[in-house]
Amino acid sequence: MRYLTAGESHGEALIAIIEGLPSNLFIDAEFINKELERRQKGYGRGGRMAIEKDEIHIISGVRDGKTTGAPLAMEIKNRDYKNWKDKKVPPVTRPRPGHADLPGSIKYNQRDIRNILERASARETAARVAVGSVAKLLLKELNISLKSRVLEIGGAKREEKWKRLIEKAKKEGDTLGGIIEIVIEGVPVGLGSHAQWDRKLDALLAYHVMSVQGIKGVEFGLGFEGARLPGSLVHDDIYYKENEGFYRKTNNAGGIEGGMSNGNPIVIRAAMKPIPTLLRPLDSVDIATKEETKAIYERSDVTAVEAAACVLEAVCAWVIADECLKKFGGDSVEELKRNYDTYLAYVRSF
């Protein structure tokens, strides 16, 4: 499968097109809308979330509630567009450190940074949550599920401290990042491959996780902690029971060995940087005058770690769904499930 998104933060709409979906997959619009609602929640979100109420509009590829095998096109309207379409907006010339503003303006020869920041905005992730929600619907047919949780915000691991830290950062005109964990359960052994670098499952997941705005680090299982321990304390011993098959008592590998799923839950953690739009702007240089100045302030969140957790679920769901289709094939959901069940029977008998 593959997908594309289009649209800008304050444009008319966000668009997503998915190509390669099997036919007869029930597209639960209510489920997709609930996932979009999840992306808008979380303490520390900004005023934009009070304006938008993201809802999916299916344009093509679905009939009688099920996919037809044709490309699936979806639209999410930007309610804030009406506040911007006739507005005289002066050019943005003061780039924000940590944002796409300066490198994007230089790369695309744009003297108005708004031509970069509108597309670089994390608003684009609404389209990816819609795409990932479709992937989740496909994975549900195979009894594969995803969940996420926030482990840290602003360096604090205890949830009762987060609200106070967020309020403190807001008062000081600052922002906060955090750490998110994603767990994927029900993944069979054998997704991905050791045979070629670009087929390794952990590499594919890391690529998609790192593509999400604000993500600066990723690890699997023990991750960096494993580098500090001897191998005897890191690698997961293998056991076998006739009625259970091969199994592990630990999951330090995070469900992936040699670039392939090993049947254990896949455990991923991602580090999200603080949002680069600060109410107390950092030092910058005006690209028009080359004079030292302060970066521009665009309406933003204090933190969006909880929202990012939903987005990370979505992109990981896409990777697993795509890998399932690569391995098991099938132009319809029924064919995919037959192939999948046959493979699971083979694994149990190995």
Among 268, 7, 3, which Cα is nearest to 123's?
A: 7
DSSP 8-state symbol, 164: H
Residue 312 lies in a domain: yes
Whole-Å CA distances, 178 to 182, 305, 327: 13, 6, 34
Domain holding 282, by residue range, is: 91-349
3-class DSSP state for residue 295? coil
What's the predicted TM-score (pTM) here? 0.95
CA distance 294 to 313: 35
Residue 134 lies in a domain: yes
Residue 231 lies in a domain: yes
* CATH code for the domain of 220: 3.60.150.10
Look at the chain and report how many structural domains it folds into.
Answer: 1
Among 254, 251, 258, 259, which Cα is nearest to 269's?
A: 254
Cβ-Cβ contacts under 8 Å for 62 (sequence gap 6 or more): 27, 68, 72
Whole-Å CA distances, 216 to 108, 261, 271, 320: 23, 24, 6, 21
E strand map for the chain = 2-6, 13-19, 56-60, 62-63, 66-67, 72-77, 145-153, 178-185, 215-220, 239-241, 245-247, 256-257, 260-261, 266-272, 283-285, 292-294
Residue 101 lies in a domain: yes
Percentages helix, strand, coil for the chain (3-state, rounded to 5) are 35, 20, 40
Task: Write the DSSP string, 195-257.
Answer: SSGGG-HHHHHHHHHHTSTTEEEEEETTGGGGGGS-GGGTS---EEETTTEEE-S--TTTTEE
Sign of CA dihedral 323, 329, 330, 334: negative
The per-residue pLDDT for 49 is: 58
Residue 276 lies in a domain: yes
3-class DSSP state for residue 321? helix
Residue 110 lies in a domain: yes
Tens-of-pLDDT digits for all 350 residues of the chain? 999 999 999 889 999 999 999 999 999 999 999 999 999 888 876 655 566 689 999 999 999 999 999 999 999 999 888 776 767 888 999 999 999 999 999 999 999 999 999 999 999 999 999 999 999 999 999 999 999 999 999 999 999 999 999 999 999 999 999 999 999 999 999 999 999 999 999 999 999 999 999 999 999 999 999 999 999 999 999 999 988 899 999 999 999 999 999 999 999 999 999 999 999 999 999 999 999 999 998 877 899 999 999 999 999 999 999 999 999 999 999 999 999 999 999 999 99
Residue 172 lies in a domain: yes
* Torsion of Cα atoms, 328 then 331 then 332 then 335, to 10°: -40
Residue 14 lies in a domain: no
Q: Supply the Cα-derived Rg of the chain in whole angstroms.
A: 22
CA distance 308 to 270: 10
